[in-house]
């Protein structure tokens, strides 16, 4: 609809009429030093820690250091317009983000300002960014599975709703890909159980974020996703508050009884931004020059992931923090911190990635400390021994390389292991439903692949799925909906697999 | 002035202030220090000059301030500690502390045009009743305000200027 000129005039007139010319009384101070995104302010005697202060020109700051004769503030915008002697006013508020149902499908910055050019946001309320995590009484144990649609993860490192599962690995090992696949997979899940997704980009390239948003849009995943973006060119203060902003949006929906999945991509850059701010504020550096409270920085964030009790609506917030390691060094400061905070990790390795195993999940080092209780019974039954089988295979594969004679049982284990490794490979952006996963893994663990050659395994999988979709969709439906692998259902599956065996052989 | 200098100023001023027993005494001594600082201003360069020996400076100060032994020794302490450059700031802080004892608040009032004596007393009275203390204001003109008053009182800023109102109107319109 075209905007009529008198409308604007009316709005302005209304605004002018409602504007009350009155004296503006504020507790204030003056800037004594500014630079590097930090301002030191004299005055502001009664300012509180983390309070928002107003530098004028629409630039806000946060009081971080309350010192004997000055206040150290971080600026939430460019520092070029601020000069010595400028007036800084107290606002009496802590930093908060406007939230509402309107925010779904949008790209916003950590202060809730839209970045996608789709117009202003209608907010229901303001959520303060730094909220203390719900207490013990407010929670219940993590027990519902959250399907990522990735075979290797759903089978061996199951993630539960309300869990915190770290995705860790070097650059270019597919960390973001796993998170994005998990978001895309929510499309496969009936709306009632579907998670709302929040993707928080911290310190990434604008182009990468644009790519992620495009991918999510292409797969129709933006309908239930919020992207919070603080890119590499934003001030460190925005990078610092970005995960808390994303979490605040997530909590808003969680307290409405919804399930929320939040991805922090990535927390290494978050720690670096916090280190920059801390050092410029002259806080003492510790190990790797990070400040002393860098553990608390992440623990208070990840502690906010939870499964609420039924009295509180039963909502959940599942966190997938991402950490980038340097040269596979998981014993660096930030990786060890976050590993110890989270309920498990998915460890990705360059070697595996380069040898074609994608997702490059290292089975031995990846764990989920919530484990089986966050897995469907059908999946648990099928994948129960998968981890052990694979690690035994890897042990034996070492021997087999020397060309030594192996007994029949070992040869069988190696053959099975090779096929299972092959079966767990999965392309990006192609998440599977639970039913598909269970069916495929059932075929693998019950020896149906033993007669298929290793290079043919993925073809087998593909054809099996299309065969089932065409001929026996009711089996997949049953697998998707039922929680228990009944004898009847198992009979259906074996019947299906036996039938497909002949079809596959004939096709060869 | 950096942070440690500001802290030093507050400490020297507090020490000087602590030498007085009553509020009246403190006010009188603050006035004395102000006068002395003004009198010493022309020779500031000499007193800060590194090429002149400390002993010489101290003797000169002693001779000049013979009648005010306590102020003379205060200045000598500053010279010894190489803090003489801070004297103007210390004087100001001493004044603030003396005001605090007397329950006086200082305000800086900015206006677009010079206020008449009547307007000045009226402003002071209004501020005194707002803060419940005797407010003593210094008045300055600032053409950029366009009209109205802008008052700094302690750490509070009361902005009733036309310029401030226009800025707020602008913020309201662009929101």
Catalytic residue among A369, A380, A387, A419: A369
pLDDT of A2 strictly over 70: no
Q: Is A90 among the residues known to form the active site?
A: no
User: What is the number of residues in chain A?
Assistant: 508
Looking at residues A379-386, what average pLDDT do you find? 88
Q: Compare all CA atoms of chain B with the CA of A87 and give the residue at the minimum distance.
A: B157
CB contact under 8 A, A27 and B156: yes
User: What is the number of residues in chain B?
Assistant: 175
pLDDT (tens digit per residue) in A449-478: 998 999 999 999 999 999 999 999 999 999
Supply the pLDDT for residue B68.
Answer: 84
Cα dist from A394 to A158, A169, A364, A389, A405, whole Å: 21, 20, 9, 9, 17
Residue A117 main-chain phi, psi, to 5 deg: 70, 20
Contacts of A15 in chain B (CB under 8 A): 172-173
Query: What is the band of A1 on the pLDDT scale with cuts at 50, 70, 90?
Result: low
CB B65 within 8 A of CB B79: no
pLDDT (tens digit per residue) in A204-219: 999 999 999 999 999 9
pLDDT of A282 strictly over 60: yes
Looking at residues A222-239, what average pLDDT do you find? 96
Q: Hey, is the C-beta of A14 within 8 angstroms of any chain B C-beta?
A: no
Q: Which residues contact B21 (CB under 8 A, 6 or more apart)?
A: none
Q: How much of chain A exceeds pLDDT 70, in percent? A: 98
Supply the pLDDT for residue A151.
Answer: 95
Strands A60-66 and A71-75: antiparallel
Q: How far apart are CA A466 and CA A463, in angstroms?
A: 5
Least CB–CB distance from B156: residue in A16, A25, A56: A25
pTM, two decimal places: 0.88
Mutate to test the interface with B, among A23, A68, A98, A120 (most CBs of B within 10 A): A23
Q: For A432, left (φ over 0), alpha (ψ -120 to 50), or beta?
A: beta
Give the three-class secondary structure for A41: strand
Contacts of B171 in chain A (CB under 8 A): 58
Give the three-class secondary structure for A75: strand
Query: What is the band of A132 on the pLDDT scale with cuts at 50, 70, 90?
Result: very high
Least CB–CB distance from A21: residue in B152, B157, B165: B165
Q: How far apart are CA B76 and CA B87, in angstroms?
A: 11
Distance in angstroms between the alpha carbons of the first and the last residue of chain A: 61
Give CB contacts under 8 A, 24+ apart, made by A383-387: A383/A154, A383/A155, A383/A156, A383/A441, A383/A445, A385/A445, A386/A155, A386/A156, A386/A420, A386/A441, A386/A445, A387/A156, A387/A363
pLDDT (tens digit per residue) in A140-164: 999 999 999 999 999 999 999 999 9
Q: Hey, is the C-beta of A44 within 8 angstroms of any chain B C-beta?
A: yes
Least CB–CB distance from A24: residue in B10, B152, B164: B164
CB contact under 8 A, A26 and B173: no
Do you find a cis peptide bond into A359, omega within 30 degrees of 0? yes
**Which one of A168-172, B44-48, B51-55 scores highest in mean pLDDT?**
A168-172
Q: What is the ipTM of this complex?
A: 0.75
CB contact under 8 A, B160 and A22: yes
Tokens of A230: 């603080």
Residue A291 DSSP one-character state? B
Q: Residue A199, class by beta-carbon neighbours within 10 Å (0-12 exposed, 13-18 middle, 19+ buried)?
A: buried
Q: What is the dihedral of CA B64, B69, B75, B79, to 10 degrees?
A: 80
**Helix/strand/coil (H, E, C) string of A102-145?**
HHCCCEECCCCCECCCCCCCCCCEEEECCCCCCCCCCECCCCCE
pLDDT (tens digit per residue) in B69-125: 888 999 999 999 989 999 999 999 999 899 888 888 889 999 999 999 999 999 999
């Amino acid at each position: 609809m075209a905007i009529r000129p008198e409308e604007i005039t009316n709005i302005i007139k209304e605004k002018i009429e409602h504007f009350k010319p009155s004296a503006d009384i504020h507790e204030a101070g003056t800037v004594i030093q500014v630079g590097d995104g930090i301002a030191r302010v004299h005055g502001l005697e009664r300012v509180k820690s983390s309070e928002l202060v107003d530098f004028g020109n629409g630039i806000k700051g946060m009081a971080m250091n309350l010192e004997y004769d000055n206040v150290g503030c971080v600026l939430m915008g460019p520092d070029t317009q601020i000069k010595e002697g400028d007036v800084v006013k107290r606002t009496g508020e802590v930093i908060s983000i406007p939230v509402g149902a309107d925010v779904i499908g949008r790209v916003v910055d950590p202060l809730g300002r839209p970045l996608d050019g789709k117009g202003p946001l209608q907010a229901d309320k303001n959520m303060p960014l730094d909220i203390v995590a719900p207490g013990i009484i407010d929670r219940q144990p993590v027990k519902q599975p959250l399907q990522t649609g990735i075979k290797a993860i759903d089978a061996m490192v199951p993630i539960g709703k309300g869990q915190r599962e770290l995705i860790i690995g070097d650059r270019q090992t597919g960390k973001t890909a796993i998170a994005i696949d998990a978001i895309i997979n929510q499309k496969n899940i009936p709306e009632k159980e579907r998670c709302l997704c929040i993707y928080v980009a911290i310190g990434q390239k604008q182009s990468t974020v644009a790519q992620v948003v495009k991918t999510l849009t292409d797969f129709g995943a933006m309908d239930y996703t919020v992207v919070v973006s603080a890119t590499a060119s934003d001030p460190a203060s925005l990078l610092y508050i970005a995960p808390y902003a994303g979490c605040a949006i997530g909590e808003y929906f969680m307290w409405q009884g919804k399930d929320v999945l939040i991805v922090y991509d990535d927390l290494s850059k978050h720690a670096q931004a916090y280190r920059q701010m801390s050092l410029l504020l002259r806080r003492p550096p510790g190990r790797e020059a990070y400040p002393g409270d860098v553990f608390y920085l992440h623990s208070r964030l990840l502690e906010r992931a939870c499964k609420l009790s039924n009295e509180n609506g039963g909502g959940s917030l599942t966190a997938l923090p991402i950490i980038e390691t340097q040269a596979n060094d998981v014993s660096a400061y930030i990786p060890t911190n976050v590993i110890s905070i989270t309920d498990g990790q998915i460890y990705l390795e360059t070697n595996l990635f380069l040898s074609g195993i994608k997702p490059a999940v290292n089975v031995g080092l990846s764990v989920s400390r919530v484990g089986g209780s966050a897995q469907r019974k059908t999946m648990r039954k099928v994948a129960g021994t998968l981890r052990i089988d694979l690690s035994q295979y890897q042990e034996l594969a070492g021997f087999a390389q020397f060309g030594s004679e192996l007994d029949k049982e070992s040869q069988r284990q190696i053959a099975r292991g090779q096929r299972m490794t092959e079966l767990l490979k999965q392309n990006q952006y192609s998440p599977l439903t639970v039913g598909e996963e269970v069916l495929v893994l059932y075929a693998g663990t019950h020896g149906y692949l033993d007669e298929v050659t290793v290079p043919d395994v993925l073809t087998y999988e593909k054809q099996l799925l299309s065969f089932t979709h065409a001929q026996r969709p009711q089996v997949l439906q049953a697998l998707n909906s039922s929680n228990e692998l009944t004898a009847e259902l198992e009979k259906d599956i074996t019947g299906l697999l036996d039938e497909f065996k002949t079809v596959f052989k004939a096709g060869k | 002035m950096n942070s440690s200098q500001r802290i030093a100023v507050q400490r020297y001023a507090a020490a000087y202030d602590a030498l007085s027993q009553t509020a009246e005494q403190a006010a009188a001594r603050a006035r004395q220090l102000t006068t002395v600082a003004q009198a010493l201003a022309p020779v500031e360069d000499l007193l800060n000059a590194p090429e002149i020996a400390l002993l010489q400076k101290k003797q000169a100060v002693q001779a000049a301030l013979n009648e005010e032994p306590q102020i003379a020794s205060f200045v000598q302490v500053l010279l010894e500690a190489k803090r003489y450059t801070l004297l103007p700031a210390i004087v100001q802080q001493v004044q603030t502390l003396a005001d605090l004892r007397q329950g006086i608040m200082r305000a800086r009032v900015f206006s677009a045009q010079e206020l008449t004596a009547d307007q000045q007393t009226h402003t002071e009275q209004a501020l005194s009743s707002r803060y419940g203390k005797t407010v003593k204001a210094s008045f300055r003109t600032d053409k950029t305000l366009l009209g109205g008053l802008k008052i700094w009182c302690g750490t509070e800023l009361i902005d009733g200027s036309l310029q401030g109102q226009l800025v707020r109107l602008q913020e309201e319109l662009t929101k």
